[in-house]
Amino acid sequence: MKKKIAILGSTGSIGKQTLKIIKKDKKNFDVVLLSTNKNTKLILEQAKEFNVKNIVIKNYESYLKFKKKIKYLKVHKNFDNLEQFIKKKLDYTMCAITGLEGLKPTLKIVKHTKTIAIANKESIICGWCLINKQLQKHKTKFIPVDSEHFSIWSVIRDLNSSVVEKIIITASGGPFFNNKNNSLKITPKLASSHPNWKMGAKISVDSSTLMNKVFEIIEAKKIFNIELKKFKILIHPKSYVHAIIKLKNGLIKIVAHDTDMKIPITNSLYLNENKFIKTKNINVKILNNLKLTEVNKKQFPLIKLLKAVPKNNTLFETLLVSMNDELVSLFLNKKISYDQISKNLLSRINSKSFSKFKRKKLNNLAQIEKLNNFVRLKTKTLSVISSKK
């Protein structure tokens, strides 16, 4: 029987890679739903190729134009009425909508799928308690797809978290790790050039500041319900080792694989089916020269933010994600300089305007959406003013 599949964010990098994997085994998959923000040209091609009858187009203007033009597809403007066309539970859903825009769709589709793979770190960081509540309620299996979190999950998914002594997540250090020229003017183009992974501009900038690792530690803490103090970041320029897990029985498990997202995606699609993937041979040269090093806090000051992460479910993470998103956007649009991302983030997170949200308990999605809008507007205004001084 064919597996019924939904891909949220099918026109993005993870969505396209997921469809590329499915394409090689079409006879075993039935793609029921695809979604995009406004890339209507690509989603139409995808719908035709995989015979998909239902698509969601988030951007309202794009939705109206597409719906008027294309009559043979069921076009939806949001995820509010999934039950109208998902009559039976899907076998698998890939959630790959970028940013906080992916949280609401994720919460909406949990009850309609047996397994949900999430490649959206912002949704987990800001709304994990809301997602997990739905997962438990509807008995939906969850698989993290970020390479680091999938690596950790592959080792400890059948273990009690209490047996874990230490988890190390590796960071490449980004494009400026070995840069000794402090006078180098860092442009959006330079900061977006990741040395190992093919990623979007925003996440590449986060990699260069190590903010992505701050997010990944928070994400892992929530997913695996493990204390923050048990996590550590080490610089590993080759990005071959993704996680190192030390168990209390003395075993140390190292998870390594090529810098190719098809590995976690394929393994999540074919869970427990022993699907073979053609990959490169083991790189002994890299294994003999891992060059794992401590993080230099002067070079990567944003690592200090981990000390501020609260134990309980609060709005702190939304504050952090929204502020960083807006600052990176300002940098990419050449409104602020590269070093102002870190300087603004570290100073504003403790400012009177924002500090009160660190202790405010998270109860619902509306709180996250409201704070996200507030923080973005406030950050944009303050940062633009400071850049002109």
Write the pLDDT tens digit of every residue in 66-123: 998 888 899 999 999 899 889 899 999 999 998 999 999 999 999 999 999 999 999 9
The two tokens of residue 62 are: 């794009």
Angle at the Cα of 359 from the Cα atoms of 104 and 385, rounded to 5 degrees: 80
As to burial, measured by CB atoms within 10 angstroms (0-12 exposed, 13-18 middle, 19+ buried), residue 138 is middle
Q: Which residue has the tokens 């006078």?
A: 183
What's the topology of domain 310-389?
A: Rna Polymerase Sigma Factor; Chain: A (1.10.1740)
Q: What is the number of other CB atoms lying within 10 angstroms of the CB of residue 358? A: 17
Beta carbons within 8 Å of 142's beta carbon, 6+ residues apart: 115, 116, 117, 118, 131, 132, 135, 223
Q: Return the pLDDT at 350.
A: 78
Q: Return the pLDDT at 331.
A: 93
CA distance 153 to 146: 10
Q: Which residue has the tokens 């890939």?
A: 94
Range 3-144 has CATH code 3.30.70.141: no
CA distance 275 to 266: 8
Render 215-248 in DSSP notation, one character per residue.
Answer: HHHHHHHHHHT--GGGEEEEE-TT--EEEEEEET
Handedness of CA 378, 384, 386, 389 (dihedral sign): negative
Per-residue pLDDT of the chain (389 residues; tens, 9 = 90+): 899 999 999 999 999 999 999 999 999 999 999 999 999 999 999 999 999 999 999 999 999 999 988 888 999 999 998 998 898 999 999 999 989 999 999 999 999 999 999 999 999 999 999 999 999 999 999 999 999 999 999 999 999 999 999 999 999 887 777 765 565 678 888 887 766 666 678 888 998 999 999 999 999 999 999 999 999 999 998 889 999 999 999 999 999 999 899 999 999 999 888 788 888 899 999 999 988 999 999 999 999 999 989 888 999 999 999 999 999 999 999 999 999 999 999 988 878 778 788 889 999 999 999 999 999 998 877 655 555 55
CA distance 223 to 120: 13
Q: Return the pLDDT at 121.
A: 92
Q: Rounded to the nearest 5°, which phi and psi values hold at 110?
A: -50, -45
Tell me which long-range contacts 72-75 makes (C-beta under 8 A, separation of at least 24). 73/44, 73/47
Residues 315/332/45/118 CA torsion (nearest 10 deg):
-30
Residue type (1 letter), 130: L
Digit-coded pLDDT (tens) for 11-36: 999 999 999 999 999 999 999 999 99
Q: Where are the alpha helices (DSSP H) in the chain?
A: 13-23, 40-49, 60-69, 103-109, 121-138, 147-156, 188-191, 201-209, 211-224, 262-269, 284-287, 316-332, 339-348, 352-355, 365-388
Residue type (1 letter), 362: L
